[in-house]
Chains A and B, each alone.
Chain A
Amino acid sequence: MIRRTADGARAEAGVQAGGTRPVELAVELARQGGGSRKRIAVNGVPRRAAALAGTLRVVLFAPEEMLLVAGPPGLRRSALDLLAGQARPAYLHDLATYGRALQQRNSLLRAIRDEGASPEDLRLWDAPLVEAGAAVVAERLRLLDALAGPLAAAGREIAPGEGPLTVVYETNAPRLPGEEPREALARRLRDTADKERWNGTTLVGPHRDDLRFELAGEPLAAFGSRGQQRSAILAFKLAQLDLLTDLDGRPPLLLLDDVFSELDPQRREHLVRRIADLPQAFVTTTSPHDLDPALREHATTWRVEPDDGERGALLLPDRGHEGPAVAVP
Protein backbone atom coordinates (compact mmCIF):
# COMPACT_ATOMS: atom_id res chain seq x y z
CA MET A 1 0.00 0.00 0.00
CA ILE A 2 1.30 3.48 -0.80
CA ARG A 3 1.13 6.11 1.91
CA ARG A 4 -1.14 8.93 0.83
CA THR A 5 1.63 11.51 0.92
CA ALA A 6 4.29 9.32 -0.74
CA ASP A 7 5.16 8.58 -4.38
CA GLY A 8 5.67 4.89 -3.89
CA ALA A 9 6.37 2.01 -1.58
CA ARG A 10 9.17 -0.53 -1.51
CA ALA A 11 9.69 -3.81 0.30
CA GLU A 12 12.92 -5.78 0.24
CA ALA A 13 13.77 -9.24 1.48
CA GLY A 14 16.87 -11.36 1.56
CA VAL A 15 16.07 -15.02 1.04
CA GLN A 16 18.48 -17.81 1.81
CA ALA A 17 17.35 -21.39 1.82
CA GLY A 18 19.53 -24.17 3.15
CA GLY A 19 22.79 -24.18 1.21
CA THR A 20 21.58 -22.11 -1.75
CA ARG A 21 22.84 -18.69 -2.78
CA PRO A 22 21.17 -15.75 -1.07
CA VAL A 23 18.59 -14.01 -3.23
CA GLU A 24 17.63 -10.34 -2.91
CA LEU A 25 14.00 -9.63 -3.64
CA ALA A 26 12.48 -6.20 -4.09
CA VAL A 27 8.89 -5.26 -4.76
CA GLU A 28 8.15 -1.66 -5.62
CA LEU A 29 4.83 0.09 -6.00
CA ALA A 30 4.81 3.32 -7.98
CA ARG A 31 1.85 5.56 -8.55
CA GLN A 32 0.48 5.37 -12.06
CA GLY A 33 -2.67 7.05 -13.24
CA GLY A 34 -5.28 6.45 -10.57
CA GLY A 35 -3.71 3.23 -9.30
CA SER A 36 -0.26 1.83 -8.86
CA ARG A 37 2.22 -0.24 -10.81
CA LYS A 38 4.16 -3.12 -9.31
CA ARG A 39 7.80 -3.71 -10.18
CA ILE A 40 9.66 -6.80 -9.09
CA ALA A 41 13.39 -7.35 -9.03
CA VAL A 42 15.34 -10.49 -8.19
CA ASN A 43 19.00 -9.75 -7.42
CA GLY A 44 18.48 -6.34 -9.02
CA VAL A 45 17.21 -7.82 -12.30
CA PRO A 46 13.63 -6.85 -13.19
CA ARG A 47 11.48 -9.98 -13.39
CA ARG A 48 7.89 -11.04 -13.78
CA ALA A 49 5.77 -11.91 -10.76
CA ALA A 50 6.06 -15.58 -11.69
CA ALA A 51 9.78 -15.46 -10.88
CA LEU A 52 8.94 -14.40 -7.34
CA ALA A 53 6.60 -17.33 -6.87
CA GLY A 54 9.43 -19.76 -7.56
CA THR A 55 11.96 -17.95 -5.36
CA LEU A 56 10.03 -17.38 -2.19
CA ARG A 57 7.25 -19.81 -1.43
CA VAL A 58 4.70 -18.73 1.11
CA VAL A 59 1.58 -20.09 2.73
CA LEU A 60 -0.64 -17.18 3.76
CA PHE A 61 -3.31 -17.57 6.37
CA ALA A 62 -5.44 -14.45 6.69
CA PRO A 63 -8.75 -13.72 8.44
CA GLU A 64 -10.74 -13.49 5.19
CA GLU A 65 -9.84 -17.12 4.56
CA MET A 66 -12.03 -18.16 7.44
CA LEU A 67 -14.73 -18.01 4.73
CA LEU A 68 -12.83 -20.41 2.47
CA VAL A 69 -15.22 -23.34 2.90
CA ALA A 70 -18.56 -21.55 2.86
CA GLY A 71 -17.76 -18.23 1.14
CA PRO A 72 -17.84 -17.30 -2.55
CA PRO A 73 -16.08 -19.59 -5.08
CA GLY A 74 -13.59 -16.85 -6.05
CA LEU A 75 -11.90 -17.25 -2.65
CA ARG A 76 -11.33 -20.95 -3.24
CA ARG A 77 -10.08 -20.40 -6.80
CA SER A 78 -7.60 -17.75 -5.59
CA ALA A 79 -6.32 -20.03 -2.83
CA LEU A 80 -5.84 -22.84 -5.33
CA ASP A 81 -4.20 -20.54 -7.91
CA LEU A 82 -1.77 -19.14 -5.35
CA LEU A 83 -0.74 -22.65 -4.35
CA ALA A 84 -0.52 -23.96 -7.93
CA GLY A 85 1.59 -20.96 -9.00
CA GLN A 86 4.11 -21.74 -6.29
CA ALA A 87 4.17 -25.44 -6.97
CA ARG A 88 4.75 -24.77 -10.68
CA PRO A 89 5.45 -21.15 -11.76
CA ALA A 90 4.50 -21.92 -15.39
CA TYR A 91 0.95 -22.28 -14.06
CA LEU A 92 0.80 -18.52 -13.56
CA HIS A 93 1.57 -18.03 -17.22
CA ASP A 94 -1.22 -20.39 -18.26
CA LEU A 95 -3.55 -18.62 -15.86
CA ALA A 96 -2.59 -15.16 -17.19
CA THR A 97 -2.97 -16.34 -20.80
CA TYR A 98 -6.35 -17.79 -19.93
CA GLY A 99 -7.43 -14.56 -18.22
CA ARG A 100 -6.33 -12.43 -21.15
CA ALA A 101 -7.98 -14.71 -23.73
CA LEU A 102 -11.14 -14.65 -21.62
CA GLN A 103 -11.13 -10.82 -21.50
CA GLN A 104 -10.59 -10.60 -25.26
CA ARG A 105 -13.30 -13.15 -25.91
CA ASN A 106 -15.77 -11.41 -23.60
CA SER A 107 -15.07 -8.05 -25.24
CA LEU A 108 -15.71 -9.65 -28.61
CA LEU A 109 -18.93 -11.30 -27.38
CA ARG A 110 -20.17 -7.88 -26.28
CA ALA A 111 -19.14 -6.37 -29.62
CA ILE A 112 -21.03 -9.16 -31.42
CA ARG A 113 -24.13 -8.53 -29.33
CA ASP A 114 -24.02 -4.72 -29.39
CA GLU A 115 -22.23 -3.73 -32.57
CA GLY A 116 -22.59 -6.65 -34.91
CA ALA A 117 -18.96 -7.81 -34.90
CA SER A 118 -18.36 -11.12 -36.69
CA PRO A 119 -19.05 -14.23 -34.55
CA GLU A 120 -16.56 -16.03 -36.78
CA ASP A 121 -13.72 -14.17 -35.03
CA LEU A 122 -14.51 -15.92 -31.74
CA ARG A 123 -12.37 -18.78 -33.05
CA LEU A 124 -9.27 -16.60 -32.68
CA TRP A 125 -9.73 -16.57 -28.91
CA ASP A 126 -11.26 -20.04 -28.54
CA ALA A 127 -7.93 -21.64 -29.41
CA PRO A 128 -5.82 -19.98 -26.65
CA LEU A 129 -8.78 -20.07 -24.24
CA VAL A 130 -9.21 -23.82 -24.62
CA GLU A 131 -5.49 -24.55 -24.61
CA ALA A 132 -4.64 -22.42 -21.55
CA GLY A 133 -7.93 -23.32 -19.83
CA ALA A 134 -7.28 -27.04 -20.17
CA ALA A 135 -3.73 -26.57 -18.86
CA VAL A 136 -5.13 -24.66 -15.85
CA VAL A 137 -7.67 -27.38 -15.09
CA ALA A 138 -5.11 -30.17 -15.54
CA GLU A 139 -2.69 -28.47 -13.14
CA ARG A 140 -5.42 -27.82 -10.57
CA LEU A 141 -6.45 -31.48 -10.70
CA ARG A 142 -2.86 -32.65 -10.44
CA LEU A 143 -2.33 -30.38 -7.45
CA LEU A 144 -5.49 -31.49 -5.66
CA ASP A 145 -4.45 -35.06 -6.26
CA ALA A 146 -1.09 -34.38 -4.60
CA LEU A 147 -2.80 -32.47 -1.80
CA ALA A 148 -5.26 -35.27 -0.99
CA GLY A 149 -2.87 -37.28 1.22
CA PRO A 150 -1.50 -34.36 3.30
CA LEU A 151 -5.04 -32.95 3.63
CA ALA A 152 -6.51 -36.19 4.95
CA ALA A 153 -3.58 -36.55 7.37
CA ALA A 154 -3.91 -32.95 8.63
CA GLY A 155 -7.66 -33.44 9.01
CA ARG A 156 -7.12 -36.57 11.09
CA GLU A 157 -4.61 -34.76 13.29
CA ILE A 158 -6.74 -31.69 13.97
CA ALA A 159 -10.08 -33.42 14.37
CA PRO A 160 -9.56 -37.12 15.01
CA GLY A 161 -12.57 -39.35 14.50
CA GLU A 162 -14.54 -36.97 12.29
CA GLY A 163 -14.14 -38.96 9.09
CA PRO A 164 -11.90 -38.27 6.09
CA LEU A 165 -11.48 -34.67 4.89
CA THR A 166 -11.42 -34.31 1.10
CA VAL A 167 -11.54 -31.56 -1.53
CA VAL A 168 -13.41 -32.18 -4.77
CA TYR A 169 -12.90 -30.13 -7.94
CA GLU A 170 -16.20 -28.99 -9.40
CA THR A 171 -15.84 -28.23 -13.08
CA ASN A 172 -18.47 -26.83 -15.42
CA ALA A 173 -16.86 -28.74 -18.28
CA PRO A 174 -16.82 -32.35 -17.05
CA ARG A 175 -15.18 -34.84 -19.37
CA LEU A 176 -17.12 -37.52 -21.19
CA PRO A 177 -15.50 -40.96 -21.21
CA GLY A 178 -12.35 -40.89 -23.35
CA GLU A 179 -12.37 -37.10 -23.67
CA GLU A 180 -9.35 -34.85 -23.03
CA PRO A 181 -9.90 -31.73 -20.84
CA ARG A 182 -9.44 -29.47 -23.88
CA GLU A 183 -12.02 -31.44 -25.85
CA ALA A 184 -14.49 -31.17 -22.98
CA LEU A 185 -13.99 -27.41 -22.74
CA ALA A 186 -14.30 -26.96 -26.51
CA ARG A 187 -17.50 -29.02 -26.53
CA ARG A 188 -19.00 -27.00 -23.68
CA LEU A 189 -18.11 -23.76 -25.49
CA ARG A 190 -19.99 -25.02 -28.54
CA ASP A 191 -22.95 -26.06 -26.36
CA THR A 192 -23.24 -22.66 -24.73
CA ALA A 193 -22.50 -20.59 -27.86
CA ASP A 194 -26.02 -19.19 -28.25
CA LYS A 195 -26.48 -18.49 -24.58
CA GLU A 196 -23.15 -16.69 -24.19
CA ARG A 197 -23.79 -14.53 -27.22
CA TRP A 198 -27.02 -13.45 -25.59
CA ASN A 199 -25.22 -12.82 -22.26
CA GLY A 200 -22.18 -11.20 -23.87
CA THR A 201 -19.85 -13.22 -21.66
CA THR A 202 -18.09 -16.61 -21.58
CA LEU A 203 -20.11 -18.96 -19.39
CA VAL A 204 -17.87 -22.03 -19.13
CA GLY A 205 -14.23 -22.55 -18.19
CA PRO A 206 -11.97 -22.70 -15.13
CA HIS A 207 -12.86 -19.11 -14.17
CA ARG A 208 -16.20 -20.51 -13.08
CA ASP A 209 -14.98 -23.77 -11.52
CA ASP A 210 -15.07 -24.37 -7.79
CA LEU A 211 -13.76 -26.52 -4.94
CA ARG A 212 -15.97 -28.48 -2.58
CA PHE A 213 -14.73 -29.39 0.90
CA GLU A 214 -16.21 -32.65 2.15
CA LEU A 215 -16.08 -34.36 5.52
CA ALA A 216 -16.91 -38.05 5.41
CA GLY A 217 -18.42 -37.48 1.98
CA GLU A 218 -20.75 -34.65 3.11
CA PRO A 219 -20.29 -31.12 1.73
CA LEU A 220 -18.96 -28.98 4.59
CA ALA A 221 -20.33 -25.70 3.23
CA ALA A 222 -23.89 -26.95 3.64
CA PHE A 223 -23.65 -29.44 6.51
CA GLY A 224 -20.50 -28.60 8.49
CA SER A 225 -20.54 -26.72 11.79
CA ARG A 226 -18.48 -23.53 12.10
CA GLY A 227 -15.89 -25.48 14.05
CA GLN A 228 -15.70 -28.22 11.42
CA GLN A 229 -15.31 -25.63 8.68
CA ARG A 230 -12.44 -23.94 10.56
CA SER A 231 -10.73 -27.27 11.16
CA ALA A 232 -10.95 -27.95 7.42
CA ILE A 233 -9.42 -24.55 6.58
CA LEU A 234 -6.59 -25.06 9.05
CA ALA A 235 -6.00 -28.56 7.65
CA PHE A 236 -6.01 -27.13 4.10
CA LYS A 237 -3.29 -24.62 5.07
CA LEU A 238 -1.16 -27.17 6.89
CA ALA A 239 -1.50 -29.58 3.95
CA GLN A 240 -0.16 -26.78 1.69
CA LEU A 241 2.87 -26.48 3.97
CA ASP A 242 3.51 -30.21 3.60
CA LEU A 243 2.95 -30.21 -0.14
CA LEU A 244 5.31 -27.29 -0.81
CA THR A 245 7.92 -28.72 1.56
CA ASP A 246 7.83 -32.03 -0.29
CA LEU A 247 8.70 -30.32 -3.60
CA ASP A 248 12.37 -29.84 -2.67
CA GLY A 249 12.60 -30.34 1.06
CA ARG A 250 12.46 -26.58 1.76
CA PRO A 251 9.54 -25.55 3.97
CA PRO A 252 7.73 -22.43 2.69
CA LEU A 253 7.46 -19.29 4.72
CA LEU A 254 4.27 -19.29 6.79
CA LEU A 255 2.54 -15.91 7.04
CA LEU A 256 -0.20 -15.72 9.64
CA ASP A 257 -2.12 -12.48 9.50
CA ASP A 258 -4.18 -11.98 12.63
CA VAL A 259 -5.75 -15.44 12.59
CA PHE A 260 -5.18 -16.66 16.14
CA SER A 261 -8.18 -14.84 17.51
CA GLU A 262 -10.31 -16.68 14.94
CA LEU A 263 -9.33 -20.11 16.23
CA ASP A 264 -10.44 -21.94 19.35
CA PRO A 265 -7.79 -22.95 21.94
CA GLN A 266 -7.43 -26.50 20.65
CA ARG A 267 -6.83 -25.47 17.01
CA ARG A 268 -4.61 -22.63 18.17
CA GLU A 269 -2.44 -25.06 20.08
CA HIS A 270 -2.19 -27.31 17.07
CA LEU A 271 -1.08 -24.42 14.87
CA VAL A 272 1.53 -23.30 17.41
CA ARG A 273 2.99 -26.82 17.46
CA ARG A 274 3.30 -26.75 13.68
CA ILE A 275 4.87 -23.28 13.71
CA ALA A 276 7.47 -24.47 16.19
CA ASP A 277 8.58 -27.12 13.68
CA LEU A 278 9.17 -24.55 10.93
CA PRO A 279 12.47 -22.76 10.34
CA GLN A 280 10.64 -19.43 9.98
CA ALA A 281 7.15 -18.00 10.22
CA PHE A 282 5.81 -14.45 10.42
CA VAL A 283 2.81 -13.75 12.62
CA THR A 284 1.16 -10.35 12.48
CA THR A 285 -1.44 -9.19 14.94
CA THR A 286 -3.03 -6.05 16.28
CA SER A 287 -3.53 -7.65 19.69
CA PRO A 288 -0.27 -9.32 20.78
CA HIS A 289 -1.89 -10.47 24.00
CA ASP A 290 -4.01 -12.88 21.99
CA LEU A 291 -0.89 -14.71 20.88
CA ASP A 292 -0.27 -18.05 22.48
CA PRO A 293 2.22 -17.66 25.37
CA ALA A 294 4.14 -20.68 24.08
CA LEU A 295 4.55 -18.92 20.74
CA ARG A 296 5.62 -15.61 22.26
CA GLU A 297 8.20 -17.38 24.33
CA HIS A 298 10.37 -18.43 21.41
CA ALA A 299 9.45 -15.62 19.03
CA THR A 300 11.23 -12.37 18.22
CA THR A 301 8.76 -9.52 18.42
CA TRP A 302 8.74 -6.23 16.56
CA ARG A 303 6.34 -3.35 16.76
CA VAL A 304 5.27 -1.57 13.54
CA GLU A 305 4.97 2.17 14.15
CA PRO A 306 4.01 4.93 11.77
CA ASP A 307 6.97 7.23 11.16
CA ASP A 308 6.39 10.91 11.89
CA GLY A 309 7.87 12.18 8.63
CA GLU A 310 8.59 10.97 5.16
CA ARG A 311 9.70 7.39 5.21
CA GLY A 312 6.68 5.37 6.23
CA ALA A 313 6.38 2.63 8.80
CA LEU A 314 9.18 1.61 11.15
CA LEU A 315 9.98 -1.75 12.68
CA LEU A 316 11.01 -1.38 16.30
CA PRO A 317 12.16 -4.06 18.72
CA ASP A 318 9.14 -4.56 20.92
CA ARG A 319 9.15 -3.56 24.58
CA GLY A 320 5.65 -2.77 25.70
CA HIS A 321 3.58 -5.02 23.45
CA GLU A 322 1.35 -2.18 22.43
CA GLY A 323 0.22 -1.73 18.88
CA PRO A 324 0.67 -4.16 16.00
CA ALA A 325 3.40 -6.71 16.39
CA VAL A 326 5.32 -9.07 14.17
CA ALA A 327 6.53 -12.28 15.72
CA VAL A 328 9.24 -14.38 14.13
CA PRO A 329 10.03 -17.66 15.84
Chain B
Amino acid sequence: MPAPLIEPVARLIESFARLPGIGPKTAQRLTFHLLRAPEVEARNLAAALVAVRDEVVFCERCFNISDAPLCSICRDPGRDTSRLCVVEEPLDVLAIERTGEFRGLYHVLNGAISPIDGIGPERLRIRELLARADEARRAGRPFTEVILATNPTLEGEATAMYLAERLEATVESITRIARGIPVGGDLEYADEITLIRSLQGRRAV
Protein backbone atom coordinates (compact mmCIF):
# COMPACT_ATOMS: atom_id res chain seq x y z
CA MET B 1 0.00 0.00 0.00
CA PRO B 2 1.33 3.48 -0.82
CA ALA B 3 2.00 5.78 2.13
CA PRO B 4 -0.94 8.15 2.75
CA LEU B 5 -0.47 11.87 2.14
CA ILE B 6 0.31 13.85 5.26
CA GLU B 7 -2.81 15.53 6.56
CA PRO B 8 -2.21 19.26 5.72
CA VAL B 9 -1.33 18.34 2.12
CA ALA B 10 -4.39 16.13 1.72
CA ARG B 11 -6.59 18.84 3.21
CA LEU B 12 -5.36 21.50 0.77
CA ILE B 13 -5.80 19.17 -2.21
CA GLU B 14 -9.33 18.44 -1.08
CA SER B 15 -10.09 22.15 -0.65
CA PHE B 16 -8.84 22.97 -4.14
CA ALA B 17 -10.75 20.06 -5.65
CA ARG B 18 -14.01 21.42 -4.24
CA LEU B 19 -13.65 24.60 -6.33
CA PRO B 20 -15.59 24.77 -9.61
CA GLY B 21 -13.58 23.76 -12.66
CA ILE B 22 -10.75 22.13 -10.69
CA GLY B 23 -10.35 18.37 -10.87
CA PRO B 24 -8.24 16.17 -8.56
CA LYS B 25 -5.19 16.36 -10.87
CA THR B 26 -5.17 20.16 -10.95
CA ALA B 27 -5.77 20.28 -7.19
CA GLN B 28 -2.63 18.19 -6.67
CA ARG B 29 -0.64 20.34 -9.07
CA LEU B 30 -1.68 23.57 -7.30
CA THR B 31 -0.87 22.12 -3.89
CA PHE B 32 2.62 20.97 -4.83
CA HIS B 33 3.26 24.24 -6.62
CA LEU B 34 2.53 26.11 -3.38
CA LEU B 35 4.78 23.75 -1.41
CA ARG B 36 7.69 24.46 -3.73
CA ALA B 37 7.03 28.19 -4.28
CA PRO B 38 8.58 30.90 -2.07
CA GLU B 39 6.79 31.08 1.26
CA VAL B 40 5.47 34.58 0.56
CA GLU B 41 3.41 33.31 -2.34
CA ALA B 42 1.45 30.92 -0.14
CA ARG B 43 1.10 33.54 2.62
CA ASN B 44 -0.24 36.11 0.11
CA LEU B 45 -2.79 33.63 -1.17
CA ALA B 46 -3.94 32.81 2.35
CA ALA B 47 -4.26 36.50 3.21
CA ALA B 48 -6.20 37.19 0.00
CA LEU B 49 -8.63 34.39 0.82
CA VAL B 50 -9.28 35.77 4.29
CA ALA B 51 -9.61 39.35 3.03
CA VAL B 52 -12.12 38.43 0.34
CA ARG B 53 -14.41 37.05 3.03
CA ASP B 54 -13.74 39.70 5.67
CA GLU B 55 -13.67 42.87 3.58
CA VAL B 56 -16.05 42.20 0.70
CA VAL B 57 -19.77 42.63 1.27
CA PHE B 58 -22.80 42.85 -0.96
CA CYS B 59 -24.05 46.37 -1.70
CA GLU B 60 -27.29 46.84 0.20
CA ARG B 61 -28.96 48.53 -2.75
CA CYS B 62 -27.83 46.66 -5.86
CA PHE B 63 -26.22 43.51 -4.34
CA ASN B 64 -23.06 43.95 -6.36
CA ILE B 65 -19.86 43.07 -4.50
CA SER B 66 -18.61 46.06 -2.53
CA ASP B 67 -16.15 47.19 0.12
CA ALA B 68 -18.73 49.46 1.78
CA PRO B 69 -22.47 49.25 2.54
CA LEU B 70 -23.09 50.97 -0.80
CA CYS B 71 -20.95 50.01 -3.80
CA SER B 72 -18.91 52.54 -5.77
CA ILE B 73 -21.49 52.63 -8.57
CA CYS B 74 -24.42 53.31 -6.23
CA ARG B 75 -22.32 56.00 -4.48
CA ASP B 76 -21.30 57.72 -7.74
CA PRO B 77 -23.37 60.94 -8.12
CA GLY B 78 -22.56 61.02 -11.85
CA ARG B 79 -24.59 57.90 -12.68
CA ASP B 80 -27.91 58.13 -14.53
CA THR B 81 -30.39 57.02 -11.85
CA SER B 82 -33.27 56.70 -14.34
CA ARG B 83 -31.84 53.57 -15.98
CA LEU B 84 -31.39 50.21 -14.35
CA CYS B 85 -29.58 47.18 -15.72
CA VAL B 86 -30.51 43.81 -14.19
CA VAL B 87 -27.83 41.10 -14.33
CA GLU B 88 -27.32 37.63 -12.86
CA GLU B 89 -23.80 37.96 -11.40
CA PRO B 90 -21.31 40.61 -10.22
CA LEU B 91 -19.03 39.54 -13.09
CA ASP B 92 -21.72 40.70 -15.52
CA VAL B 93 -21.52 44.19 -13.99
CA LEU B 94 -17.76 44.21 -14.64
CA ALA B 95 -18.29 43.12 -18.24
CA ILE B 96 -20.82 45.88 -18.93
CA GLU B 97 -18.75 48.47 -17.06
CA ARG B 98 -15.75 47.67 -19.26
CA THR B 99 -17.75 48.77 -22.30
CA GLY B 100 -18.21 52.26 -20.82
CA GLU B 101 -21.52 52.39 -22.72
CA PHE B 102 -23.87 52.21 -19.79
CA ARG B 103 -23.98 55.01 -17.21
CA GLY B 104 -27.05 53.88 -15.25
CA LEU B 105 -27.37 51.73 -12.13
CA TYR B 106 -27.36 47.97 -11.68
CA HIS B 107 -29.24 45.30 -9.83
CA VAL B 108 -27.49 41.96 -9.30
CA LEU B 109 -29.90 39.05 -8.85
CA ASN B 110 -27.16 36.63 -7.77
CA GLY B 111 -28.36 33.87 -10.04
CA ALA B 112 -31.27 32.89 -12.27
CA ILE B 113 -34.46 30.96 -11.62
CA SER B 114 -33.69 27.25 -11.92
CA PRO B 115 -35.94 24.66 -10.24
CA ILE B 116 -33.39 21.92 -11.07
CA ASP B 117 -30.98 23.64 -8.69
CA GLY B 118 -33.74 24.42 -6.21
CA ILE B 119 -33.58 28.13 -7.08
CA GLY B 120 -37.03 29.72 -7.08
CA PRO B 121 -37.66 33.48 -7.42
CA GLU B 122 -37.55 33.86 -3.63
CA ARG B 123 -33.90 32.76 -3.57
CA LEU B 124 -32.83 35.67 -5.79
CA ARG B 125 -32.74 39.41 -5.07
CA ILE B 126 -36.04 39.84 -6.92
CA ARG B 127 -38.14 41.09 -4.02
CA GLU B 128 -35.53 43.82 -3.48
CA LEU B 129 -35.59 44.73 -7.19
CA LEU B 130 -39.37 45.09 -7.23
CA ALA B 131 -39.24 47.17 -4.05
CA ARG B 132 -36.58 49.37 -5.61
CA ALA B 133 -38.65 50.00 -8.74
CA ASP B 134 -41.74 50.66 -6.65
CA GLU B 135 -39.92 53.08 -4.35
CA ALA B 136 -38.57 55.03 -7.34
CA ARG B 137 -42.06 55.29 -8.78
CA ARG B 138 -43.54 56.49 -5.47
CA ALA B 139 -40.81 59.11 -5.23
CA GLY B 140 -42.00 60.42 -8.60
CA ARG B 141 -38.78 59.32 -10.38
CA PRO B 142 -39.72 55.97 -11.92
CA PHE B 143 -37.04 54.14 -13.91
CA THR B 144 -37.42 55.20 -17.54
CA GLU B 145 -35.77 51.98 -18.67
CA VAL B 146 -35.01 48.65 -17.05
CA ILE B 147 -32.65 46.55 -19.17
CA LEU B 148 -33.01 42.83 -18.51
CA ALA B 149 -29.46 41.61 -19.11
CA THR B 150 -29.78 38.08 -17.73
CA ASN B 151 -27.95 35.42 -19.76
CA PRO B 152 -29.47 34.20 -23.04
CA THR B 153 -29.96 30.74 -21.50
CA LEU B 154 -33.27 29.02 -20.82
CA GLU B 155 -32.96 30.04 -17.14
CA GLY B 156 -31.94 33.61 -17.98
CA GLU B 157 -34.88 33.94 -20.36
CA ALA B 158 -37.32 32.55 -17.80
CA THR B 159 -35.98 34.98 -15.21
CA ALA B 160 -36.34 37.88 -17.66
CA MET B 161 -39.92 36.82 -18.39
CA TYR B 162 -40.70 36.62 -14.69
CA LEU B 163 -39.24 40.10 -14.09
CA ALA B 164 -40.88 41.69 -17.13
CA GLU B 165 -44.33 40.66 -15.91
CA ARG B 166 -43.73 42.05 -12.45
CA LEU B 167 -42.01 45.29 -13.43
CA GLU B 168 -44.54 46.30 -16.05
CA ALA B 169 -46.63 48.47 -13.73
CA THR B 170 -43.78 50.30 -12.03
CA VAL B 171 -41.32 51.25 -14.79
CA GLU B 172 -41.70 53.15 -18.05
CA SER B 173 -40.02 50.70 -20.40
CA ILE B 174 -38.50 47.23 -20.17
CA THR B 175 -35.88 46.06 -22.68
CA ARG B 176 -34.01 42.81 -23.25
CA ILE B 177 -30.44 42.61 -24.50
CA ALA B 178 -30.06 41.41 -28.11
CA ARG B 179 -28.28 38.23 -29.19
CA GLY B 180 -26.00 37.77 -32.15
CA ILE B 181 -22.62 37.12 -33.70
CA PRO B 182 -19.65 38.32 -31.60
CA VAL B 183 -17.80 41.21 -33.23
CA GLY B 184 -14.54 40.01 -34.78
CA GLY B 185 -16.02 36.53 -34.81
CA ASP B 186 -15.77 34.53 -37.98
CA LEU B 187 -19.21 33.76 -39.43
CA GLU B 188 -17.86 30.37 -40.41
CA TYR B 189 -17.13 29.50 -36.79
CA ALA B 190 -20.27 30.98 -35.27
CA ASP B 191 -22.35 28.09 -34.13
CA GLU B 192 -25.51 27.45 -36.04
CA ILE B 193 -27.82 28.54 -33.22
CA THR B 194 -26.10 31.90 -32.82
CA LEU B 195 -26.37 32.36 -36.57
CA ILE B 196 -30.06 31.49 -36.58
CA ARG B 197 -30.71 33.84 -33.66
CA SER B 198 -28.86 36.69 -35.29
CA LEU B 199 -30.76 36.11 -38.54
CA GLN B 200 -34.03 36.18 -36.60
CA GLY B 201 -32.96 39.42 -34.91
CA ARG B 202 -31.73 41.11 -38.11
CA ARG B 203 -32.59 44.74 -38.84
CA ALA B 204 -32.78 47.03 -41.88
CA VAL B 205 -29.60 48.98 -42.72
Contact = CB atoms under 8 A, between A and B. Distances in A.
Nearest to B161: A124
Interface of B: 23, 25, 113-116, 118, 120-121, 154-155, 157-158, 161-162, 189, 191-193, 196
Contact of A50 (B113, B114, B192): B192
A100 B154 contact: yes
B154 A101 contact: yes
B154 A128 contact: yes
B162 to A, nearest CB: 6
Nearest to A109: B115
13 contacts: A7-B25, A32-B23, A45-B189, A50-B192, A51-B191, A51-B192, A89-B192, A90-B192, A93-B192, A97-B154, A121-B113, A125-B115, A128-B157
A107 B192 contact: no
Nearest to B121: A121
A215 B192 CA distance: 38
A39 interface: no
Contact of A121 (B25, B116, B118, B162): B162
Contacts of A128: 154, 157-158
A101 B162 CA distance: 15
Contacts of B196: 90
A104 B155 CA distance: 9
Nearest to A128: B154
A93 B193 contact: yes
Given A90-B196, A104-B116, A125-B115, 15 more contacts: A7-B25, A47-B191, A51-B191, A89-B192, A90-B192, A93-B192, A100-B154, A101-B154, A103-B116, A104-B115, A104-B155, A105-B115, A121-B121, A124-B113, A124-B161
Q: 4 tightest A-B contacts by CB?
A: A107-B115, A108-B115, A124-B158, A107-B116
Interface string A118-155: 10010011011000000000000000000000000000
Nearest to A33: B23
A48 interface: yes
Contacts of B162: 121, 124
Interface residues of A, number: 28
Contact of A111 (B115, B158, B191): B115
Contacts of A32: 23
Contacts of A104: 114-116, 154-155, 158
Contacts of B120: 111, 117-118, 121
Nearest to B153: A100
Nearest to B113: A124
A100 B113 CA distance: 13
Contacts of B115: 104-105, 107-108, 111, 117, 125
Interface string A30-55: 01100000000000010110110010
B122 to A, nearest CB: 9
Interface in A72-125: 89-90, 93, 97, 100-101, 103-105, 107-108, 111, 117-118, 121, 124-125
Nearest to B154: A100
Contacts of B113: 121, 124
Contacts of B161: 124, 127
A50 B193 CA distance: 9
A107 B161 CA distance: 19
A90 B157 CA distance: 19
A94 to B, nearest CB: 9
A7 B23 CA distance: 11
A54 B23 CA distance: 32
Contacts of B157: 128
Contacts of B25: 7
A132 B163 CA distance: 22
A262 to B, nearest CB: 36
Nearest to B189: A45
B158 A90 contact: no
Contacts of A118: 120
Nearest to A30: B23
Contacts of B193: 50, 90, 93
Contacts of A103: 116
Contacts of B155: 104
A100 B193 CA distance: 16
A112 B80 CA distance: 41
A82 to B, nearest CB: 17
Interface string A1-36: 000000100000000000000000000000110000
Contacts of A45: 189
Contacts of B116: 103-104, 107
